[in-house]
Structure formats: structure tokens, C-alpha cells
Chain A
Amino acid sequence: SRIRPLSLAGHVGFDSLPDQLVNKSTCQGFCFNILCIGETGIGKSTLMDTLFNTNFENFESSHFEPQVKLRAQTYDLHESNVRLRLTVVNTVGFGDQMNKQESYQPVVDYIDRQFESYLQEELKIKRSLHNYHDSRVHACLYFISPSGHSLKSLDLVTMKKLDSKVNIIPVIAKADTISKSELHKFKIKIMSELVSNGVQIYQFPLDDETVAKVNTTMNGHLPFAVVGSTEEVSIGNKMVKARQYPWGVVQVENENHCDFVKLREMLICVNMEDLREQTHTRHYELYRRCKLEEMGFKDTDPECKPVSLQQTYVAKRQEFLVELQKREDEMRQMFVQRVKEKEAELKEAERELQTRFEQLKRLHADEKAALEEKKRLLEEDQSSFSKRRAAAQLLQAQSLTANGKKDKDRKK
């Protein structure tokens, strides 16, 4: 290769480059998003409070949620000059339903939605990726219930669906209910079940020598058995986070009591950046690749010649426009047909109306004729009657005059 290493004759000063980079990131702030999956009441919120030494807004969920939901809350945390935008996503109602077949789906959908919105931003023409609030899930804490036996099938199914989408860190919750020897057996059982079911959990990275040793050790302690508590109990002359029982005190930060310290170290102090990087370079790329392939974009066409996104895009766009045109034509046709039908209906109705009208008219005419007839008869009657009356009167008048004449004649 043409790239030759050169030695420098003095101090140039670009060794400050990592600092320059880190300072820029510090100005912008960091994003970190944790997803906690676990049954209701298993201690997700308490663990988050304990991890981040604070009191997030929590409220107990009911056990009667009809479906699994996710609740996301975002906080701005400051420590020395580091600004961390932390989003904690909790499942609500996980494991409470009678039928848990679809329980994993809302979680998968949520994770995919975050990838989708990042992808959309990335594909925009005018985009602002460096200002973008990254909401993709960087770490998923899966809370295993401390039965002491093995993983539940719900656990296996859910983790299997998530292992290619997010970094899974399984933890055993409420670990103070398991004894040390049981815990050891439990951990082994869990890990072997995960392996035999092909579930890929997050492995702490070994490529950096500074942390390879501690990460290797920690990988061997998975899953971490944790206890969470925000209450303090005084031990000796110190106040420590602990849970107080009648038979003793479980100290959260005591490595002999539980693995909380290990979890905090691994999650925050040693591997936070790696979790973010894996999410971006592995999980998100996989999602992006699948999504683009689903949409028909490829890097090489069937003859294995490289195809630029632009060509594919233009082809797709043509298809899309043709399809659009086809649908438009169909719609237009349908519209025309509907109109015709309606017209025919209307015509039919009109015709009907017309015939009825004719009918009625005829009826009316008939009646009128009948009436006329009657009238005529009546008039005839009337006229004959008046004639007869006239005749009768005349007769009467004649008879009167005849009678008068007769009388006159007699008198003479």
C-alpha cells in the first residue's frame, strides 16, 4: 500500500485530537437509552433509581393491564461536566396477561420504531444528524425472576426475538431471595439455556487491552444477580444502601451480597460507549439493511453489477408512478360507472313516477267524465222536471180560467 509510516522530528500537537473530539461531544451531550423488561413488581424502577443514585418518577403499575405497554421517560443528568440525556423505558404489564403469546410484540415494535425514525432522518434530504436526539435503545436489561430453577419460556421467546435488535444484558432480579449455592447453579442453568436456544446476549468487548481483563471476568459472572434499594441503613458508622430484614441486612454495594456493583461498572463506567457503538454499527445497520432490501433496494443487480441507489430509486419511482396512474385510472373508471348506475336508477325512478302520474291522471279524467255524466243527467232531470212543472202550472192555470169561465157562465 502507498501509505508509509513517517516519524516526526518534533512535537506537532495532534495528540490533542482525542481531547478535541471528546470536548466536542461533551458540548453536545450524550444520549443513553435503557430498556428494562421484566414482570410487574420485579424491581425495574428500583434498580434504575439505585443505578443512577436518584429518584426517577415511578408509579406502581397494576397487574391488570390488558396488553403490554412501554413507558419511556427522559431525564437530563449532569455529572461534573458531562451531560447525559438518559431515557429509561419500562415495560408495563409484561407477564401479567393470561395469554402471553404476543407479549414480546410491543417491545419489538418500540425498538423498531426508534430505528425507523433514525433511518428516516438519515434519508432525509435536509437532515441534521448531529443534532438528532438519538432514541435508539442502547441496552436492554432483561429481568429474570429468581425462581432458582430455569428461564421461563416467555423469557426465552422474548430474548430470542430481541437478540438481533438490541444489546441484551440479563439480570437476576431480587437476588436476595436466592442462596449463594443455588445462585451459582441458577446462573449456569440460565447461561446454558441461552446458549442451547441460540440467544445472543451482549458480551463485554475484549478488543481493548485496558479493559479486556475486567470484561472477561465480568462475562463470566453473567447474568448479574442484583438487588436494588434506595433506602439507607447504617452499618458501622456509615449509611449504605441496603435492604433490612429481621435476619440481616443485604447491602447493595457489597460485592459479597450481590452483583450490583458489577452491573454498574459494566453498564456505565466501562462499556457505555461500546453499547452505543454496537447499537449504531451492528443493530441499526442490520435494521437498515433489512428495511432497504425490503423496499427493493440492492447494491448489485441480478448480474452482480453494482447498482447505485439512484438507479434503483429511479426505477422504483417509475414503478410507483405507474402504479399511481393505474390506480387513478381505476378510480376514475369506478367513479364513472357509479355515476352511470346512479343515473340509471334515477331514470328508472323517474319513469315510474311518470307512469303513476299518467295513471292518476286517467283515473281523474274518468271520474270527471262520470261526474259530468251525472251532472248532465241531473240537469236533464231538472229540465224535464221544470218542464213538467211548467206544464202542470199551465194546466192549473188553464183549469182555473176554465173554471172561472164556467162560473161566469152559470151566473149569467
Chain B
Amino acid sequence: MCVTADCCVSTPEAAGELETDPLTLMEEREKKERGIMGQDQEEGGKTEGQPANMNSQDSMTENEENCVELCTEVEEKGKEKGMEEGELKKEIELEAEVKLELCQSIPGLQMSLIRGTDLFGYVGIEAILDQMKRKTMKAGFEFNIMVVGQSGLGKSTLVNTLFKSKVSRRSNYEEKISKTVKLHSVSHVIEEKGVKMKLTVIDTPGFGDQINNENCWEPIVKYINEQYEKYLREELCVNRKRRIPDSRVHCCIYFLPATGHRLRPIDVEFMKRLGKIVSIVPVIAKADTLTIEERQEFKERIRHDLVANGIHVYPQKEYDEDPEDHILNNRIRENIPFAVVGTDKEHQVNGNKVLGRKTKWGIIEVENVEHCEFACLRDLLIRSHLQDLKDVTHNIHYETYRVRRLTESNMDFGELGLPTWPLENGTRDKCESESHL
């Protein structure tokens, strides 16, 4: 029963258990040490599952080798001695890994190298992961998602299906089509297993519904930029809030009607413009009107059109951080746009209750990957890349906006020379210049 063996085939999994009973310090420590060494399989699987996170390939392979050595040692010793708690703890201490590595020198820092296969004892640094988790759970999360597409493509239904609740009010087909694109956002707080999330859905009724749709993206672009501006202002305040409220759009789902042909001009124009300021996830709406072959061809043509027009949709190639991300995201990129079907009705299929659309020719199971790609979309958006969407918005789109804004207003704090504010040092500089003359 070796930790490494498990983690080599790890899958990204849901949260491990939190420590809830306060034990004495040393007891807790032993428990954690045992967890590290593999008697708690899930913990081991979760923590060791990302080999690419190490600094260099060399250290990783060294690590793995050490892991393997350790495990066999533990097994042998276990067999020989018959574990008692104290001895187990000692062995775990001796065999846990704390490696000190050479890191690239950063100017101004004295970096130090401590190399060697000396194994040091367990310190408890990895407890920071739990601490961080607790803190973020307490603080709660925010997520803002925008849906864009013509009326009747099933936007609200899809969002409701994604979040399994009525987060978006389905527009009544009796309402008139509005003359301009109006955005309205609705917020809800949803909770799952102790994780609280403030979800905001921004709807864009009227998009693409007019006879003349020129510039129909402008209100949307304006809205998105307004949110960035709001955040920027907060960030630049002297007295800022501890937690700046985040209303920036993290993800924009763009609904493509299932024509089966190619991207239409409005699609191209919209995605070209918005792909630069927000993460776009295109989906093929009401995909139950396409057969599998038609769907594949449609997707290929769309992908081709996207490339031909220089449109970057999420996940963008340039922002892949490491090779593992790249492989994962490539797989996603090969499958976008996802062909989705949404519903909130349940039916009985083979004795199970499933979400589906019932028609005379069969029941389309929404969560069945053979029928449609809803599950893939949900996994991408929520289960694996939600945090990444937020990070891309914060680190890339928001920063781009900020750079543009600050250069526009010619605000370069570096020019003012923060540490040597000239107004304070006026006299000193004067004397220096005199002596030069």
C-alpha cells in the first residue's frame, strides 16, 4: 500500500475531510503524519497528484524515486517490528520528505542551497493547505456569468440546469422583444457542502433580435468595462475595503444556434470583440436538432472559422501555465463548442430519474454524454475550471484593462518616483547641482 502507486493514477477529486475534533497537539500531529504516509489514501491521492508542480523535472524524479524507496522501507519495517504508535511515528518522521532545493537566484535575495538525500523530519508545512481552505470557505466565493444569444435559444434554461436551481428567470415568450440590448443581472447565494457562492447571472435580452443588429455588442462591452472600472476605482482608493466586491464578468457563454452551417457574421463580430476583454465559452444551443455527424462537422467548421478570424475563446492557448495544463486544455479545445441541451424536467429512464427532454421519438438525457455535451460543459465551467476562469479574468483581462486605463490617463506612478518624492527632497537636489557647477 504505497502512496506513490495511488497517486500516479490520481484523478482530480472533491475535497478531503476537514479536521473537526480538536485533539491534543501531538495526537493531531501523528494523525497528520500518518495521513502523509498513506494510511489515509484519499489525502495521499489528492496531495501527490500533481507531479508537474515541482520546480524541475529532476527534483520530481528524485522525489518519486525517494517515494518508492520510502514505501518499501515502511512496508518492510512494518512487517518486521509490528507497529506501535510511538515507533510508527518515529519511522514516519524519519522517512517523510522535506527537501531543500537550489532555486534560481533573485537579485537582492540570498538564496541558499541545501542539497542532499538527508531526510529530515516532518515539520507540518502542508497544514497550510487546510488553513487556506478553511479561510476561503469562510469568506465565500463570487462568480459572475453572462449569457449572450438570441431569444429562444434556451439561455435561461441552460443556466438553471447548470446550477440546478432557478437562478435565471425564464423570459416569458409573451413579452415583447426589447428595442435595444438591455442587461440585467440577478444574484443568488447558493451553498453546497459548506461552500457558499454568490452567483450572479447577467442576461442580455434583445441581443441579436433586431432587424438591424449593428453594434448590438456595444452595451455588453460597456457593461463589462464598467465592472472593470468599478473594481479599479476600489483598488486605487487610499482607504480600501478588505475585500473588494467583485462584479467583473468571469465567463461569458455565447449561444450559437444549431444551424449546422458555420459562424454567422454577428457571431464573428461579437466574439472577435469580446474575446479580447472577457473569457468566452461558445456553446451550440438546442443541440438536439443535430445528429452526431452533423454536430461533429458543425463543430469543425466553427473551430475553423474561429481560427480564421483570429478569435480567442476560453481556454486561451497563451495562458496555459504548464505542460499539464496545456494537455488538459488541448483536450477541451478539441471539443469546443460544446453542444448542449438544457432542461429542468425529470423523467424516468431505466428506473432512474434523469433530467431530460421527452419527445415522441425518445428521451434526451441531458447528463448523458452520449446524448449531448452538457456534462462536459458543466465539468469545465464548475467542477474544474471555475477558479481558473476567475484567475484569468483577474490576472489577464482586468490587468489589460488597467494598463490601458492608466496609460490613457498618463498615470505613471513611477514617474513621480515614489521613494524620492522630489517635493520633499527639493533642497537637497539643489545643493548637489550647485556643487557640480
Contact = CB atoms under 8 A, between A and B. Distances in A.
B265 to A, nearest CB: 35
Contact of A8 (B15, B26, B163, B410): B163
Contact of A17 (B129, B237, B386): B386
Contact of B411 (A13, A80, A84, A310): A310
B101 A78 contact: yes
Contact of A18 (B19, B102, B136): B136
Interface in B18-56: 18-20, 22, 25-26, 28-29, 32, 36, 46-50, 53-55
Contacts of A410: none
A24 to B, nearest CB: 6
B189 A309 contact: no
Interface string B358-387: 000000000000000000001100111111
Interface stretch (B90-98, B211-219, B249-257): B90-98
A381 interface: no
B53 A26 contact: yes
Given A79-B97, A277-B135, A334 B437 contact: yes
A319 interface: yes
A389 B13 CA distance: 145
A239 to B, nearest CB: 8
A174 to B, nearest CB: 22
Interface stretch (A34-42, A96-104, A243-251, A257-265): A257-265
Interface in A185-234: 207-208, 210-211, 213-214
Contact of B48 (A80, A116, A268): A80
A13 B127 contact: no
Nearest to A7: B165
B53 A20 contact: no
Given A72-B110, A272-B131, A20 B190 contact: no
Contact of A124 (B189, B414, B419): B414
Nearest to A297: B238
Contact of A273 (B97, B112, B135): B135
Interface stretch (A52-60, A152-160, A175-183, A360-368): A52-60
Interface stretch (A139-147, A164-172, A323-331, A344-352): A323-331
Contacts of A210: 18-20, 22, 134
Name the residue in B28, B126, B238, B391 with the highest tally of chain A Cβ atoms < 10 Å from its Cβ. Answer: B238
Contacts of B385: 20
Contacts of B133: 18-19, 21-22
A2 B46 CA distance: 38
Interface of A: 2-27, 30, 51-57, 71-85, 87, 116, 119-120, 123-127, 130, 133, 135, 207-208, 210-211, 213-214, 238, 255, 261-262, 264-265, 268-274, 277, 281, 285, 288-289, 291-293, 295, 297-299, 308-310, 313-314, 316-317, 319-320, 323-324, 327, 330-331, 334-335, 338
B172 interface: no
Contacts of B231: none
Nearest to A1: B187
A54 B113 CA distance: 12
Nearest to A310: B409
Contacts, number: 318
Contacts of B351: none
B415 to A, nearest CB: 8
Interface in B66-110: 86, 90, 96-103, 106, 109-110
A293 B12 CA distance: 47
A261 B112 contact: no
B127 A272 contact: yes
B122 interface: yes
Nearest to B434: A334
Contacts of B22: 210-211, 213-214
Interface stretch (B174-182, B304-312, B333-341, B422-430): B422-430
B238 A289 contact: yes
Contacts of A25: 132
Given A120-B418, A127-B399, A261-B25, A80 B126 contact: yes
Contact of A15 (B15, B114, B239, B387): B15
Nearest to A319: B423
B426 A327 contact: yes
B126 A82 contact: yes
Interface in B266-309: none
B437 to A, nearest CB: 6
Nearest to A71: B110
Contact of B238 (A9, A292, A317, A320): A292
B162 interface: yes
Contacts of A77: 98-100, 123, 125
Contacts of B430: 327, 330
A19 B25 contact: no
B403 interface: yes
A297 B410 CA distance: 16
Nearest to B129: A22
Contacts of A269: 28-29, 32, 124, 127
Contacts of A7: 165, 190
B109 A87 contact: yes
B22 to A, nearest CB: 5
Nearest to B124: A269
Q: Which 7 residue pairs spanning A and B have beta carbons closest together?
A: A273-B131, A20-B387, A15-B193, A13-B383, A269-B124, A53-B121, A269-B127
A268 B54 CA distance: 21
Given A119-B418, A238-B86, A299-B238, A82 B129 contact: yes
B165 A6 contact: yes
Contacts of A83: 53-55
B162 A17 contact: no
Given A16-B384, A127-B399, A272-B128, 15 more contacts: A8-B163, A12-B162, A13-B382, A14-B143, A15-B15, A15-B192, A53-B123, A73-B112, A76-B100, A76-B102, A85-B103, A120-B413, A208-B138, A269-B32, A323-B426
Interface stretch (B147-155, B194-202, B220-228): B194-202
Interface string B314-333: 00000001100000000000
B111 A74 contact: yes
A123 B237 CA distance: 12
A375 B18 CA distance: 128
B111 A51 contact: no
Given A54-B114, A125-B407, A208-B138, A116 B124 contact: no
A274 B128 CA distance: 10
